[in-house]
Structure 1
Amino acid sequence: MPLPWMSWSDRRRWRSARTIADLGELMALWLEGEMASRPGYQPRCGPDEETKHLVPTLAVLCRSGYVTTCSQPGLVGTGVDGLWWEQRAAVELVVTDPELLNRLVDAAYAAGLIVRINDHRPDGGVREQPVVATTCDGEPVTAFGGQISRADMAIQWPGLDRDLYREVSTGTYVSVVAPEYGPAGERLWVTLDFLTGRRHNDTVDPWASSTRPAGPASR
């Protein structure tokens, strides 16, 4: 599928990606503002303003084999529409390495986070239902997790090399969601920082914790 809204240089870089590591590096560069566009996202637009403080965590995840596709911080408050919004911190990632998948899921469960897994391999057997992540005046608005249709997968990853597209479209999509609504759920990013090694009880970091989450359980 062509990407007419991308610059030629960005289009060529996404098309030239051959591995998950390549894809993760390009996604990290987009998150950091080094690339103007990414597949499946609004043309020439970077991450939403509310997620900019998550960029360091998300970029390291992408460079560690976990390609993030969607994320949001934990927020509560009155929106510009005058309605009451509640939002859970949440992230969706595509993982193709079984060892990395086990580490992520174990770390998330050990931290008491909500996990939803959808394995898109032809012989995959895990099909979990989505979890509500955002409400407006108590009514569900958005959810994380759930199966992605073949048509939506093509919309999410247009313009990739055919073999790489086959790999990401048949990967395992993991959604990790904080059980709490609002800022308390920002502990999700602490867990992910420990997972990737970005965090080592950094007292300067506003999310720093004096207690490291329990390590992944053996499998």
Structure 2
Amino acid sequence: MGRKKRISSADLDLSQGRPTGPGLCRAEERTKVTTRQIAPLNWLTARNLAELGELTARWLEGTIATGPAYGGTLDEETRTIAPELAAVNRHGLVTLTSQPGRHIGSGCGQRAFVEGFADDASTQMIRQALLGTEIVLIVNPPAWSVTRGGILPQRPVDIAVKLHRGAALVSVGRYHTRTDIRYLYGTCGGCNRRAVASLGRAHQVTAIDPVWGRESYLWDALAVAGRDPSRR
């Protein structure tokens, strides 16, 4: 007959009459579910376009104090279109700059526009939503593709969107380089490398209402991009 293994008092749970000891402890440890503490979403922890868009939307809504890229609080002009911009950010376009339309008077006026970053799917969704509208859409290739992939950006586009005393004061449609993005979102915005890289891999999208002073046309057109296709 084989020798019986002795069970010491140290290996016996006296209250339950069952074996314990190192072997059982190791088995119990293997069954434990470990949970990783999730860091709160902020400009330092954001990792992708969706998270950057959500943070930008929160900043526009006033629930966080610090904004992207340029930082600081909203100016009065941006407040007038903040709800529309927040929706745009949550629908896939991480906005960088924008302005509302202002009717021309005394040589001054504005075209409504917005520019930002979007992935392939969101860019296609915006294209489809604006198809057949009067909106001017400019899509430049990702900065990463231009830097490393040998893809050239489109010819320089320079569309005036703000007049002051009859002269163009602000123009948009230009291409943002990888250095631009790193400076705006990394150096100034405090975003981490993964977030900056997601912007570098994104298409650069600019949408402009060509009619001076028209206030809601652009935002109504972009709102279609965020709707369920079956409800359009």
- Flag whether TM exceeds 0.5 (same fold): yes
Query: Which of 87, 90, 97 lines up with 1:70 in the alignment?
Result: 97
2:64 aligned residue: 35
Task: Tell whether the 8 Å contact from 1:76 to 1:86 is kept in structure 2 after alignment.
Answer: yes
Query: Which of 20, 30, 40 lines up with 2:49 in the alignment?
Result: 20
1:196 aligned residue: 226
**1:167-186 → structure 2 map (5 Å cutoff):** 167-182=198-213, 184-186=214-216
Q: Report the alpha carbon displacement of residue 12 of structure 1 after superposing the two structures with TM.
A: 7.7
Rounded to whole Å, the distance in 1 between the matches of 2:198 and 2:185 is 11
1:3 aligned residue: none
Worse overlay, 118-127 or 32-41: 118-127
Task: Tell whether the 8 Å contact from 1:76 to 1:84 is kept in structure 2 after alignment.
Answer: no
**1:42-57 → structure 2 map (5 Å cutoff):** 42=71, 44-46=72-74, 48-57=75-84
Rounded to whole Å, the distance in 2 between the matches of 1:85 and 1:161 is 39
2:129 aligned residue: 107
Query: Which of 132, 135, 154 lines up with 2:160 in the alignment?
Result: 132
**1:54 maps to amino acid:** I
Query: Which of 88, 91, 116 lines up with 1:93 in the alignment?
Result: 116
Rounded to whole Å, the distance in 1 between the matches of 2:93 and 2:62 is 19
2:169 aligned residue: 141
Rounded to whole Å, the distance in 1 between the matches of 2:100 and 2:196 is 28
How many corresponding residue pairs?
A: 182
Q: Report the alpha carbon displacement of residue 130 of structure 1 after superposing the two structures with TM.
A: 2.7
**1:55 maps to amino acid:** A
**2:115 maps to amino acid:** E
Rounded to whole Å, the distance in 1 between the matches of 2:224 and 2:80 is 17
Q: Report the alpha carbon displacement of residue 150 of structure 1 after superposing the two structures with TM.
A: 3.4
Rounded to whole Å, the distance in 2 between the matches of 1:100 and 1:53 is 25
Task: Tell whether the 8 Å contact from 1:127 to 1:146 is kept in structure 2 after alignment.
Answer: no
Show structure 2 runs of 5+ residues with no match: 1-39
Aligned to 2:85, the other structure's residue is in SS state: helix
Q: Provide Cα deviations, 1:140-195, integer angstroms capped at 9, x if missing partner.
A: 1111211113332222212212122111023111110001000x253011101122
With normalisation by structure 2, the TM-score equals 0.71
Q: CA RMSD in A?
A: 2.3
Task: Tell whether the 8 Å contact from 1:113 to 1:176 is kept in structure 2 after alignment.
Answer: yes
In structure 2, the CA distance between the partners of 1:112 and 1:12, relative to structure 1 (3 Å rule), is closer
Show structure 1 runs of 5+ residues with no match: 1-10, 199-211
**1:167 maps to amino acid:** S
**1:95 maps to amino acid:** A
Q: Percent identity?
A: 28
Task: Tell whether the 8 Å contact from 1:116 to 1:146 is kept in structure 2 after alignment.
Answer: no
With normalisation by structure 1, the TM-score equals 0.75
